[in-house]
Amino acid sequence: MKKFYIILVLSILLSGCAAYKIQQGKSPHEGGFVVSRYNKVIPEYSIGVNNSFPGKEIAEKRFKRRRSKVEYYYKKIGFIDNRFKQTFVEPPLLFVQFVAGIFRMPFIAVSDYRYNHNPQYKEKMDKLEDEQYYAERARVKGLKDRLSEYIQEDLAKESPAKVNEQPKPKEEVKMAELAQEPVKEVPAAAPVEVKPVETIKPEAQEKAIAIQESLEAVPIVEEPKSQDIKLQPSLFKPTAIIIAKPQNGPSPLRVNFYGYKSSSPNGKIVSYFWDFGDGDKSNKPNPLNTYWSTTYGAREFTVTLTVTDNKGMASSSNVIIQVINK
């Protein structure tokens, strides 16, 4: 029993401790040192001016100054999770969600039926989804902007004011050096031979005039103007956008997918192809798929959406769905 309490206390104490590592940056963070948290690089710990990364000593100093602030914004945005919450809060919460999901299955089925058969209800739900989507984007953008402002303020405190460099004075040519150089003698100009000007005889002048008149008599044929070649405008790939709600949860997990946000600069999207990663596929713009997991722990499914526009251009995007079996 005593061992159980010791393990419980150690797990509580160590659940909030993060493993950090200062390492040489790799693409796209090459050129200096970065700091990783649980083997995930967080560039804001050590990033500098113009997305540059410093040496190891400066990276350590920046990490110590910025750590708490950067992690605060990362947790608010949702980029990193609280380890204590993951260890002690999420497991019972997932179990509660699983039980609640079983009782909600009939209501979910009715809602899906109304969405697929009632245009007014579909429009209402799509509008609600749009409002939630753009509100979340605005919230995340605001947090990212505030984090960027904090990084700029930190860099301004770190780097001293630059001193204006004075232009270097031009090198003066010493007269003594010029005096030491030998003066080259300029050779005398060669005598200029004056040749007598040949006069044109009257007969030759008449022949020249006759040749000129014959040349003027020949009509000048203009080259036909080249026709203007009309270039076809270049085509661009469309943008495939996936909205999946929810993206994680207990098994069985019913996920609503929305692809109507996809767009193309060439025209309109005419084809949707979904690969749900579990063997099922669909060609609907906004399909529904149910994920099952019989293995212990989390199981991830990679969902791929391929869209094609009316010009034949195609593009794809991916999203990961995480299903947990408890």
The 10s digit of each residue's pLDDT in 29-78 is 778 899 988 888 899 999 988 888 999 999 999 999 999 999 999 988 88
Which pLDDT score, from 0 to 100, does residue 226 have? 46
Which pLDDT score, from 0 to 100, does residue 160 have? 56
List of residues 6+ apart from 47 with CB closer than 8 A: 53, 151
Which pLDDT score, from 0 to 100, does residue 95 have? 86
Distance CA 324, CA 326 (A): 6
Residue with tokens 């860099």: 155
Token pair of 297, please?
């722990």
Which pLDDT score, from 0 to 100, does residue 201 have? 52
Question: Which residues in the chain come in under a pLDDT of 50?
Answer: 15-16, 161-181, 183-184, 186, 189-190, 192, 194, 215, 217-218, 226-231
Please name which of 15, 40, 18, 14 lies closest in space to residue 29, comparing C-alpha atoms: 40
Domain with CATH 2.60.40.10 in the chain: 243-325
Number of helices (H), then strands (E), belonging to the chain: the values are 7, 11
Tell me which fold the domain 243-325 belongs to: Immunoglobulin-like (2.60.40)
Which pLDDT score, from 0 to 100, does residue 176 have? 43
* Helices marked H in 2-80: 2-15, 56-77
Burial-class residue 111 by CB neighbours within 10 Å (0-12, 13-18, 19+): middle
